[in-house]
Structure 1
Amino acid sequence: MKMLSKALLSTVLAFGLLSGSVGAESLSQQSVDTQATIINPIYKMRVGWSKGIGTKGSRVVLVSGHGIVSVNQYGMVTALRAGTATVYNYAADGNLYINYFEIRN
């Protein structure tokens, strides 16, 4: 099971970096001191669905997937069309939560 988890994580990270969705410019603009980085499981959603990932005092940033999902000031992610997206949640507890979304019709 650990091997499968490591393989999935490696694949997700490789596709995100190889696709150029997270460029050095976007990362440098969002640099924040964090205590830990937590990668959440992939959220699978359908167009029109919404999921709240923000909490009081957190800052939610759409890193990739502009036009695939939208994120409001409260951390609500709404699926707009099919595709994939990455959303960072800089939480008030000092942790960075990385959220991957897979949107289907």
Structure 2
Amino acid sequence: MKKIFGAIVATTLLFTAAAGGSLISPTTAEAAGVTYKDLKVGYSIIISGSSFVVTSGSDVVSVSQYGWVTGLKVGSATIKAYDSSGVLTWTYYINVTR
């Protein structure tokens, strides 16, 4: 019985690895959502999350602690949103236009 169980586990691991999968839960980057938004200079939108980090384009947008994103100038920005535990939940790609 142990040999059969061992063979089943080994086969499962082999097929999972061959398919590029994992038997563990996805990492935060794999589980996070993505949104693309267009925004005009001077306009605002609200995004979801508990905390936010502008990873690129901090001169293009501003984001408040509550998720209000305002377009400051034409360009592109990336904002990462985290839940209250600090887990990445969403990535926002913002395109600011006139």
Given the two structures, how large is their TM-score scaled by the length of structure 2? 0.63
**1:91 is matched with which residue: 76, 83, 93?**
83
**1:34 is matched with which residue: 28, 45, 49?**
28
Structure 1 residue runs without a partner (length 5+): 1-32
Give the % identical residues: 34
- Give yes or no for contact 1:91–1:97 (8 Å, CA) kept in 2: no
Structure 2 residue runs without a partner (length 5+): 1-26
Which 10-residue stretch deviates more, 79-88 or 66-75? 66-75
Q: Deviations over 1:50-102 (max 9, x none)?
A: 111134xx111111001100011111110000000000111248552000000
**2:46 is matched with which residue: 52, 55, 80?**
52
Higher strand share: 2
Letter of the structure 2 residue corresponding to residue 96 of structure 1: T
Residue 27 of structure 1 aligns with which residue? Answer: none
Q: Deviations over 1:7-34 (max 9, x none)?
A: xxxxxxxxxxxxxxxxxxxxxxxxxx73
- Give yes or no for contact 2:80–2:88 (8 Å, CA) kept in 1: no
Given the two structures, how large is their TM-score scaled by the length of structure 1? 0.59
Query: Larger Cα Rg: Structure 1 or Structure 2?
Result: 2
Letter of the structure 2 residue corresponding to residue 49 of structure 1: Y
